[in-house]
Amino acid sequence: MARISVFGIGYVGVVSAACLAKDGHDVIAVDVDPGKIDAINNGLSPIVENGLDELIAEQHAKGRILATDDVQYAIDNSDVSFIAVGTPSAPDGSVGLKYVEIVCDNIGRALANKDAFHSVVIRSTIVPGSTEGTCIPVLEKASGKTAGKEFGVGYYPEFLRESTAIEDYYDPGLIVFGAMDNGTADILTEINETLPCKIHVVDLRTAEMVKYTSNTWRAVKVTFANEIGNIAKACGLDGQTVMEILCSDDKVNISSYFMRPGFAFGGSCLPKDVRALRHLAREKDVTAHILEAVMEANEAQIARAEAMVEKSGAKKVGFIGISFKPGTDDLRESPLAELAGRLIRNGVEVEIFDPYVHEAFANENSTAGRGNDVVPDLGGRLNADLGAVIDGSDTVLVGNFYRDTVERLEAVDKPMIDLTRMNRKKVSNGTYEGICW
């Protein structure tokens, strides 16, 4: 069991402190508010949260939790410190790090007087780069020590919902943390290893980004549901019933398949149906902010890929895939076809490897090239020889994933733009450029 100090007896801090104490850890809660300190030291909860009164009373009676405003005492009598202070918005909308900086400075000053190794773990919600760019410099300056060597550093976001926080703590949907050193990683693993959830160990900035992505995704879902509700009501329908039925489908609608960053969407359904629902909203005089933004954002992703090709300076581009998705010859509203058409209009020569579209043309199917209205002489641009397409191109653009092409593509020694991520381990570096990685 660990000795843990929790800085900030707010919502996250006090719930975390109480649950850590229940798990058998010795916990010191630290705050500047004497009212919160007195409450915990009298076995009372300083906030209203289901089950927290009983939990704090129980752990206080067992001697596992106490509160203080003495930073040095807390550092001297713990092995790891969690920082859980607020990060309210600054006037310009950026994250406010004032309280985090103050706590880091106070902890750093205390670390200067401690010989034993100590880990500092940020739990406050901070944007990617804040731990490395703000917290660590403040801690190092105040302590005179080096992060990752003379003291540990981690970022460990929380995903607790008010009113169900204790339940969420013991049955989490997500556990993620980053650590600079093995000691800090070991402590965070020990704290979480008995919980029924996979532990994701990543770098500090990824952990920071996951927290913001989680919160923003929930906000987007609420906004989308409200928007559908508004349109449904305008049509005389019950929006909650519509969304309940939608959410009953965990194969497609509640699925991770569509949550993979990459290129734009296309096909015979999504573009036209978003446009149609957007048009219906306009007819009903309902402002549909998300629907308006969806098509704009999709167009922007195509423009982003176009700019990447332009930046490469290629005069001839080899497309790996041209249909709207792998495994089909359907080009209806294919973003790859749209991209190819734009490049051709701008004087770039385009050659295409797409086994399914090529098969349709080779068999002289009546539907060969179905949906294409943007790529001139599509049949003449197709080449069944992957090697020839690669060798004859200045830049290779990977638009669709075909498993049997990966080995050959990974051996390419020329500029490559990847819109699908043919290898999960690859990130933008040198001549390789991924659209979202």
CB 252 within 8 A of CB 238: no
On whether 325 is known to bind a ligand per the annotation, the reply is yes
CB 3 within 8 A of CB 76: no
On whether 262 is known to bind a ligand per the annotation, the reply is yes
List, in order, residues 6 or more apart from 67 with CB less than 8 Å away: 9, 28, 29, 30, 31, 36, 37, 38, 39, 40, 41
On whether 159 is known to bind a ligand per the annotation, the reply is yes
Nearest in space to 83 (alpha carbons), one of 99, 62, 72:
99
On whether 426 is known to bind a ligand per the annotation, the reply is no
Nearest in space to 312 (alpha carbons), one of 397, 386, 437, 392:
397
On whether 63 is known to bind a ligand per the annotation, the reply is no
On whether 311 is known to bind a ligand per the annotation, the reply is no
27: helix, strand or coil = strand
On whether 36 is known to bind a ligand per the annotation, the reply is yes
Q: How far apart are CA 394 and CA 76, in angstroms?
A: 62
On whether 292 is known to bind a ligand per the annotation, the reply is no
On whether 259 is known to bind a ligand per the annotation, the reply is yes
Question: How far from the centroid of its chain's Cα atoms is residue 85's Cα?
Answer: 22
Q: How far apart are CA 40 and CA 56, in angstroms?
A: 7
On whether 162 is known to bind a ligand per the annotation, the reply is yes
On whether 87 is known to bind a ligand per the annotation, the reply is yes
On whether 338 is known to bind a ligand per the annotation, the reply is no
Q: How far apart are CA 73 and CA 387, in angstroms?
A: 68
CB 420 within 8 A of CB 397: no
Q: Which residues are catalytic?
A: 269
DSSP string covering 46-109: SS--TTHHHHHHHHHHTT-EEEES-HHHHHHT-SEEEE----PBPTTSSB--HHHHHHHHHHHH
On whether 258 is known to bind a ligand per the annotation, the reply is yes
Q: Which residues are annotated as a binding site for NAD(+)?
A: 31, 36, 87, 125, 162, 272, 332
Q: Which residues are annotated as a binding site?
A: 31, 36, 87, 125, 159-162, 211, 258-262, 266, 272, 325, 332
Q: Which residues are annotated as a binding site for substrate?
A: 159-162, 211, 258-262, 266, 325
